Structure 1
């Protein structure tokens, strides 16, 4: 879609927000409605929430891994992932692949690029300037999955691989790979959409997750058979300590990531002059595509989880819950819906 007259003078962030306002609002509404089905009082355990994480994690892994590969341009995939490094992965080096829950064989196959990664100096400068390791979420998402399930790293790998083969998600991953190979500057859109979301609606969602009864997050294996868990008794402790919130938190920073957010926005303003007019249009269109894929992914998750906007009757009740707790959580979810809607309106006006 060609840029309108005068749009070349507008900040790229404003162009993205304006172009995605409608679909962003639609996605927010979908996320809030489905989140209510994954939490008490409509859910008795975190299985649907875990299903959501299993489908979100590969997206972050894909664009973060490809971004890193581009910054390492000139190193062939054979040198990174050759026969001698069969146990390495796209998210961690060979020295950590066996100890971290990121040893992803299926996703590595999707993300493998069979030629040297080279980009022009402008794109390298752009992606280097916008690369803030503190923002990356791949490992944090996997940590949440481990905390919620008590699964071993190998089991996490298997389930992420299965999720990555679902129709919409696999199409999205192939799209990310193709975009990064052919138009690497569009990775800017992924950082803007998928990182900054954690500082707006993500903060509200986090507060809602923190308000849930801590026992809800404890996996059965940790609650009743700690020794059977691949991660041991620490899983239950992590869950009780406020929920599985690595994804939504930036605990390694003194201000919970606020400086990271400010720095990223500032660097985008400073770096967007490196983009041509056509490349700016590419970034805006990629942002539209990201939101469109995310909307489709929610629909796919409805099929996986058997959920819909108004259908939670099929969910198995695994525990009885106090009626006062249930009512408190119902009101909290209603407040969440209102807050996310208000935040979306503020974002659209920025």
Structure 2
């Protein structure tokens, strides 16, 4: 094991691709709200594709670390990765160490998409057809089977995107107004962002950010030098996949009913 600042390396490696994908997605968000459109069908299309990635990540993460109810209350010393010699068990332990229930997005995404479908049920078939997001989900299944430590890159990038860029996107979406989202004025001004935008809301996000950074740092020295590099390499691959997914939405949007 080595003691190096993986978090700093990750931030440096992804700084430019993160900024690029954020700009790319913001430009697409602008096309999903008034005055470009008068209903949230394009937003539903986009979020349904990205939802597949979060479903895949969280499904594979929990499948690999086991049901948190079985281990989350154990003493931390009993599940410390540093005392484990077997590589699989070491990686399982460090991925348990990163587990934060408050970050998980699947439940919010299910609720948001159900709400969006209720607004316009005619779009249900389009939202659930085979798509590029499902391909990434399949990739995550294969990734964990072979190199589960690479989930560290996916965990950091996907949840950082919400914690560090989500507030800006959420504010942009809320400007579309309550009628656009089929909400009341009181609902859209509520402290907790309601469906269909609950995906973008993380309670006490400043506290969660601090804890998340701390946990990423805590597993830093529990990875080998080779694993460090593989995580950095994977982080760049992630942004390529996210860019491909966003660009694929341009083609889907051409035939998506609006």
- Whether the TM-score (by the shorter chain) exceeds 0.5 is yes
Q: Which one of 238, 249, 254 corresponds to residue 301 of structure 1?
A: 249
Q: Which has the higher contact order (CA 8 A, sep 6+)?
A: 2
Q: CA deviation at 1:9?
A: 5.9
Counterpart of 1:185 in structure 2 is: 149
Counterpart of 2:23 in structure 1 is: 29
Q: TM-score, normalised by structure 1?
A: 0.61
State the distance in 2 between where 1:65 and 1:315 align. 30
How many equivalent residue pairs?
233
Residues 217-261 of structure 1 deviation map (CA, whole Å, 9 limit, x = unaligned): 12xxxxxxxxxxxxxxxxx559953562210112xx4x2x32222
Structure-to-structure mapping, 1:1-350, within 5 angstroms: 10-72=4-66, 120-150=88-118, 161-162=128-129, 165-166=130-131, 168-218=132-182, 236=183, 240-242=187-189, 244-250=196-202, 253=203, 255=204, 257-306=205-254
Q: Secondary structure at the match of 1:181?
A: helix
Unaligned runs of 5+ in 1: 1-7, 74-117, 219-235, 308-313, 317-350
Q: TM-score, normalised by structure 2?
A: 0.81
State the distance in 2 between where 1:191 and 1:72 align. 17
Residues 150-194 of structure 1 deviation map (CA, whole Å, 9 limit, x = unaligned): 1799x96x65541xx22x334322221111111101111111111
Instruction: Tell me which protein shows more helix as a share of its residues.
Output: 2
**Runs of 4+ deviating beyond 6 Å:** none
Unaligned runs of 5+ in 2: 68-85
Q: Secondary structure at the match of 2:229?
A: helix
Alpha-carbon RMSD across the aligned residues, in angstroms, is: 2.8
Structure with max Cα Rg: 1
